Amino acid sequence: MTREPLVLGIETSCDETSAAVLRGERELLGHVIFTQDVHRLYGGVVPELASRAHLRTVDDVVDGALREAGVRLDEIDLVGVTAGPGLIGALLVGLAWGKAAAWGAGKPVIGVHHMEGHLFATHLEDPGAEPPFVGLLVSGGHTMLLWVPAWGDYRLLGATRDDAAGEAFDKAAKILGLEYPGGPAIQRAAASGDPKRHPLPRPLLNRGERLGDPEYYDMSFSGLKNALRLLVRKLEAEGVLADEVPHVAASFQAAVVDVLTQKTMRAVRDKGCRRVVLGGGVANSRALRDSIREKLGRGGELYAPSPRLSTDNAAMIARAALFRWRRGEVGGLDLNARADLPFPGLTRESAAVARG
Ligand code: KG4
Ligand code: ZN
């Protein structure tokens, strides 16, 4: 019997330094995620601080994952490392480490697209999360609605035209005086709020969009953020903001969730496929999961990663690297990081705008 390949995954695209040792498709032998909390002081990620923190911790994080797995570096069969998209200085730390380790051990290195990693995260935990499916990737940097007939074949249906969904949560939290990252903070505040008390708009929704219109699948969150800002200003002037924060948070969360759910359900109907796979940090949102699950109804299948695998992590990078390696896609030492790395296998369906 042939041995399952051992993959070392490394992720440093934003503010998590992470390493994982994966055996085969889903045996996670070691996994360390170091979240840089220095960014909390600034209410968002400061790129230069992120690069420096990666540099300081990457050795220990990789060592930690290997130790947990009980595996030596020379026993690894391949190294998969995030090559983009992300913060260029941050990406370079992991990429340089991964290339050097692979070269030292005489093993192949695979540059992984961070969002393909997010798409594979759920499959790592649950073999049911397999194509064909409607994919919704919602992170701090990206928002994409995909039709995935097969791994490696990604049809972009729609994307955000401005802020990503996670970014919208982060900015809204800042406006409301809540902490970073904004998604979890808004979720906590919203738990005791009434989402109907201060209705907010649902951009690019309910205006009679039809299949083929760019607005049909595309999303936009910056107008919603401005509506929130105006509402907060009004409540502040009335001197009632502190008491209203839970209601405003609930209302904002409901608006984002409603847009994401309805766009996803359009794809579910049009593709005749009731399997939906979520990826990215916003997939953590309980409200989003509940809403899509409810709309899918009985017979629908919703797959969402566990909290640890929904935000940035190296396990998903190792999993995507395994897929690319099996297809013979191995990088050389000239492999480079790109802040705007194109998504491999992504084609645009209809008039989707591939931004965000
Ligand atoms: O995928 P991720 O860890 O990083 C990127 O690749 O961007 O996603 C981080 C994003 C942040 O914007 C954070 O606010 C959001 O995921 N997030 C959430 C929740 N948990 C994390 N958004 C909404 N609800 C949540 N429960
Ligand atoms: Zn991410």
**CATH code at 6-118+310-347:** 3.30.420.40
Residue 276 has pLDDT above 60, yes or no: yes
Q: Which two tokens stand for residue 293?
A: 């699950």
Structure confidence at residue 354 as a pLDDT band (50, 70, 90): very low
Which atom of ligand 1 is the closest one to the Cα of 118?
1
pTM strictly above 0.85: yes
Task: Indicate if 131-306 has the same CATH topology as 6-118+310-347.
Answer: yes
* Distance (Å) from CA 171 to ligand 1 centroid: 12
**Ligand 2 ion: nearby residues, β-carbon < 5 Å:** 139, 312
Structure confidence at residue 214 as a pLDDT band (50, 70, 90): confident
| Structure confidence at residue 350 (pLDDT) | 60
CA distances from 253 to 230, 244, 246 (A): 16, 14, 10
Taking alpha carbons only, the member of 287, 288, 284, 168 closest to residue 221 is: 168
Domain ranges across the chain = 6-118+310-347, 131-306
CATH domain 131-306 topology = Nucleotidyltransferase; domain 5 (3.30.420)
Compute the average pLDDT of residues 197-213. 90
**14 ligand 1 Cβ < 6 A:** yes
**18 ligand 1 Cβ < 6 A:** no
pLDDT in tens, 32-45: 999 998 888 887 78
Structure confidence at residue 68 as a pLDDT band (50, 70, 90): very high
Taking alpha carbons only, the member of 168, 352, 185, 338 closest to residue 270 is: 352
| Structure confidence at residue 93 (pLDDT) | 98
* Distance (Å) from CA 318 to ligand 2 centroid: 14
Query: Which residue CA neighbors atom 14 of ligand 1 most closely?
Result: 183
Compute the average pLDDT of residues 75-79. 98
**281 ligand 1 Cβ < 6 A:** yes
